[in-house]
């Protein structure tokens, strides 16, 4: 465990990013939320990208030529609750347009803390960097919500944010926490019900299987070669299937967006002990034709775009204050009294 930084910590003990902020006298330009908002409004997208790439690069300790978007990364989680792929970001060529939308959105949000939260949600969901997305989201949140005052307490706060584990205890602007992700997906499902004509009996509430397991609940997950495919499909179709199947929390929404209820109904099952309707992925995926995989890909793109755009408009929701309160962010002034989890 890294020892907590005290206000009297030496400059040498600070992370590189905090030392750079200090050396550039960042407090003179972004010393408050109002100053950060003013600074941000003057940025065009290319300057915004440079700003983000610098934050991400310094947080990761990589040289300038290696900084920038890239990498088809997925988000993994290994715990007692979930072991495997937790989230599949948008396809790589979709991330840049979504980041442009993010800049436009946060420029229009008046509440600094909400602007920071929306930025953090978006960056974690778009996941544009090969690594360090969480640290970049936390730093962006803090700069928008608090500014950088350059005080010992401020330096301690930003240094703590850059710690992979304890930084999340200070603020974790990730929609997968506090039920925001679940709320967005539930609202998306209701929208798709109306759009596609699903009913309570025909809604697939989950999609299981698809990787060739003997049952819907077993098998070596995330091995694309094991996916049962139809006779007229190709390797690109298999890649699409893997992209959709591995994103387990969104797979059923993708199917609902891509196909009408009558196409899905033959592969829908009901779990006896709780009545949950689920789609048999093994049977459904193997039934798809080459042309239908194009529809599945378009559905995946549409669903992920819809999800992120919902995150970008959270400040416009009547429950935005309640969502912000759930995150109970620690401020630079309160960090010293906040009990952080021991590692």
Residues contacting 153, CB < 8 A, separation 6+? 7, 332, 333, 335, 336
Report yes or no on whether pTM surpasses 0.85.
Answer: yes
Confidence band for 164, pLDDT divided at 50, 70 and 90: confident
Share of the chain above pLDDT 70, in %: 88
Residue 343, token pair as written in the block: 């590692």
The pLDDT, as a whole number, for residue 3 is 37
Residue 193, token pair as written in the block: 């019900």
pLDDT at 208 over 70: yes
CA distance 39 to 18: 19
Average pLDDT taken over every residue of the chain: 89
The pLDDT, as a whole number, for residue 88 is 87
Alpha helices in the chain (DSSP H): 16-23, 27-30, 33-41, 45-60, 92-107, 112-126, 133-145, 152-161, 167-170, 180-196, 235-245, 251-258, 261-264, 281-287, 290-312, 320-327
**What distances in angstroms separate CA 111 from CA 79, 118, 131, 204, 276, one per listed residue?**
35, 11, 29, 38, 40
Confidence band for 223, pLDDT divided at 50, 70 and 90: confident
The pLDDT, as a whole number, for residue 162 is 95
The pLDDT, as a whole number, for residue 12 is 62
What are the domain boundaries of the chain?
11-173+319-337, 180-310
Residues contacting 83, CB < 8 A, separation 6+? 77
Annotate 96-119 with b (16+ C-beta within 10 A) or e (fewer).
eebbebbbebbeebebbbbbbbbb
The pLDDT, as a whole number, for residue 330 is 86
Residue 199, token pair as written in the block: 């009913």
CA distance 99 to 263: 34
């Amino acid at each position: 465990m890294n020892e907590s930084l005290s206000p009297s910590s030496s400059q040498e003990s600070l992370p590189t990013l905090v030392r750079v902020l200090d050396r550039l006298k960042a407090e003179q330009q972004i010393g408050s939320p109002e100053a950060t908002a003013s600074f941000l409004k003057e940025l065009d997208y290319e300057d915004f990208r440079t700003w983000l790439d610098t934050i991400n690069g310094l947080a990761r300790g990589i040289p300038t030529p290696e900084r920038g978007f890239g990498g088809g990364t997925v988000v993994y989680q290994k715990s007692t609750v979930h072991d495997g792929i937790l989230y599949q970001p948008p396809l790589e060529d979709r991330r840049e347009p979504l980041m442009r939308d993010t800049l436009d959105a946060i420029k229009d949000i008046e509440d600094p803390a909400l602007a920071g939260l929306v930025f953090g949600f978006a960056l974690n969901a778009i996941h544009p960097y090969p690594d360090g997305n969480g640290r970049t989201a936390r730093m962006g949140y803090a700069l928008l919500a608090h500014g950088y005052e350059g005080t010992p307490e401020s330096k301690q706060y930003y240094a703590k944010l850059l710690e992979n584990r304890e930084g999340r205890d200070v603020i974790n602007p990730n929609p997968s926490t506090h039920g925001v992700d679940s709320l967005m997906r539930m609202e998306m499902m209701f929208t798709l019900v109306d759009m596609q004509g699903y009913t309570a009996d025909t809604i697939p509430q989950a999609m299981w299987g698809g990787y060739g397991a003997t049952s819907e609940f077993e098998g070596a997950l995330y091995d694309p070669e094991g996916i049962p495919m139809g006779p007229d499909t190709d390797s690109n179709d298999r890649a699409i299937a893997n992209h959709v199947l591995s994103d387990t929390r969104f797979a059923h929404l993708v199917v609902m967006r891509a196909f009408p209820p009558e196409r899905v109904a033959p592969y829908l099952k009901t779990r006896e002990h709780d009545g949950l309707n689920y789609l048999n992925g093994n049977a459904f995926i193997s039934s798809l034709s080459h042309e239908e995989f194009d529809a599945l890909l378009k559905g995946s793109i549409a669903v992920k775009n819809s999800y992120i755009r919902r995150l970008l408009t959270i400040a416009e929701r009547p429950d935005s204050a309640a969502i912000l309160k759930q995150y109970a962010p620690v401020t630079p002034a309160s960090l010293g009294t906040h009990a952080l989890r021991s590692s």
